[in-house]
Structure 1
Amino acid sequence: MSVLPLVFTSGWASGINAYAVVLLLGVFGATGLTDEVPASLQRTDVLIVAAVLFLCEAVADKIPYVDTVWDTAHTVIRPVAGGVVGALLAGQSGSLSDITAGVVGGSTALASHFVKAGTRMAVNTSPEPFSNIVLSTAEDLGVAGIVTFAVFHPTAAAIIAAVLLATGLAVLVFLWSRIRRFLRRRAQRREEKRLADGGRIPGRAGPPPW
């Protein structure tokens, strides 16, 4: 059986929460629920690191503006994780080349990451923090549910992931005006902070000499 649907789904999920994907797949493999997970993802040290980082993301992802900083820092990490997980899954099954699986997993993770990060920028334009908590919790539950479903029904899960990705991209286009407003507001805060500092040169006390 082709592992491509599982690679696609894990790539989509990695773009949202790569640590949860590694943790879930590792646990499923270690407990014998599936034979598709390579031994490298089942290692105890990998599971511990993934669990710690997942907890860090679970907290950071629910705090307004901190979530955007976290997403920015993971612009490279999530696609790389999606590509690596995809390549490992392909190597385990032997039904798909590692390079193809890496490209599929990485590109899908990059697309879903942009959806997640862009949507979060739009949500951060609202003054209350509850929408961040609700959205983050929904993402965590969605990733857990889809990845679990993909282990037992990979094709159906891949279809669901594809629909969610397409819907997310459409929503991202619709919310683009709010995202631009968020970026302008952040740039304005930086400018206000620079003016409040009086244009001081780092390491020099007092106003500039001109």
Structure 2
Amino acid sequence: MTIVPLIFTSGLASGINAYAVVLLLGLLGRFAGADSVPAALERTDVLLAAAALFLLEAVADKIPYVDSVWDVAHTVIRPIAGATVGALIASTDPGSLSEVAAGAMGGTTALVSHLVKASLRMAVNTSPEPASNIAVSLAEDVSVAGLVTLAIFHPWLAASIAAVLLLAGVLLVWFAINRIRAFRARRRERRAARAAGTAGTVDAPGTVGATGPGSP
């Protein structure tokens, strides 16, 4: 069942850049003779649309905060794309895996990887310079291209790498959330300490105009 690792890998890659997945699969199926690629993805109109959207995402994904807005807009699109690609891949090998199960696998994997990507990109956006966004975006593009291409020729190896990357991404998100919570807790403590110090200074005896005996 070589289509199972292909569905898993394409789902994970779709959660990062769905348009790149459709474009690469279509090109590999049309020009590299990949039998596991659905014929629907090899159509000229599909390739042209995927190429145009990929170029648009390639620009938006490298601009700080614009990338996060783009991710929010694709919270539904990427899982749907992963599910659709998974179902189409299953249709190329009837009987090996139902299209419903393939769609569920592709869509779920795409959703998880999308949430990991979106969370990490929001963390990257806290950096004051745009170079980190560009570097991370390029790394994502290269990873998607490498995983999808590898999945066509060595599906189990690609799926193993994809699983490791997904687990690493989840751990990074967990680590980032804990760091953010700790930072906010320290900031609240500092604010509370400053507020207590200010109140103590104002209420200290003799610091505010005295009105007792002997006052002018």
Superposition TM-score, scaled by structure 2 size: 0.81
Q: Please state if 1:111 is matched with 2:115.
A: no
Indicate if the aligned counterparts of 1:122 and 1:178 stay in contact, CA closer than 8 A: no
C-alpha distance in structure 2 between counterparts of 1:21 and 1:180, whole Å: 35
C-alpha distance in structure 1 between counterparts of 2:154 and 2:29, whole Å: 15
**Root-mean-square deviation (Å):** 1.4
Indicate if the aligned counterparts of 2:6 and 2:155 stay in contact, CA closer than 8 A: yes
> Relative to 1, partners in 2 of residues 1:34 and 1:180: Cα closer, same or farther, differing over 3 Å?
farther
TM-superposed CA distance for 1:178, in Å, is: 6.3
Percent of residue pairs identical: 66
Q: Give the SS at the match of 1:165.
A: helix
Unmatched segments (≥5 aa) in structure 2: 183-216
> Relative to 1, partners in 2 of residues 1:96 and 1:12: Cα closer, same or farther, differing over 3 Å?
same
Q: Give the SS at the match of 2:92.
A: helix
> Relative to 1, partners in 2 of residues 1:180 and 1:154: Cα closer, same or farther, differing over 3 Å?
same
Q: In the alignment, which residue of structure 1 is the partner of 2:144?
A: 143
Q: In the alignment, which residue of structure 2 is the partner of 1:27?
A: 27
TM-superposed CA distance for 1:10, in Å, is: 0.1
| 1:198-209 superposed matches below 5 A | none
Superposition TM-score, scaled by structure 1 size: 0.84
Q: In the alignment, which residue of structure 1 is the partner of 2:9?
A: 9
TM-superposed CA distance for 1:42, in Å, is: 0.5
> Relative to 1, partners in 2 of residues 1:140 and 1:179: Cα closer, same or farther, differing over 3 Å?
farther
Q: In the alignment, which residue of structure 1 is the partner of 2:63?
A: 63
Runs of 4+ displaced beyond 2 Å: 177-181
Q: In the alignment, which residue of structure 2 is the partner of 1:203?
A: none
Q: 1:110 is matched by which residue type in structure 2? A: L
C-alpha distance in structure 2 between counterparts of 1:152 and 1:173, whole Å: 33
Q: In the alignment, which residue of structure 2 is the partner of 1:206?
A: none
Unmatched segments (≥5 aa) in structure 1: 182-210
Q: In the alignment, which residue of structure 2 is the partner of 1:152?
A: 153
C-alpha distance in structure 1 between counterparts of 2:9 and 2:118, whole Å: 18
Q: In the alignment, which residue of structure 2 is the partner of 1:90?
A: 90
C-alpha distance in structure 1 between counterparts of 2:37 and 2:65, whole Å: 35
Q: 2:13 is matched by which residue type in structure 1? A: A
TM-superposed CA distance for 1:32, in Å, is: 3.8
Q: Give the SS at the match of 1:93.
A: coil
Indicate if the aligned counterparts of 1:122 and 1:179 stay in contact, CA closer than 8 A: no
Which string of whole-angstrom CA distances, capped at 9 and with x for unpartnered residues, describes residues 151-190 of structure 1? 0000010000000000000000111156679xxxxxxxxx
C-alpha distance in structure 1 between counterparts of 2:69 and 2:178, whole Å: 20
Indicate if the aligned counterparts of 1:82 and 1:109 stay in contact, CA closer than 8 A: yes
Q: 1:9 is matched by which residue type in structure 2? A: T
Q: 1:122 is matched by which residue type in structure 2? A: A
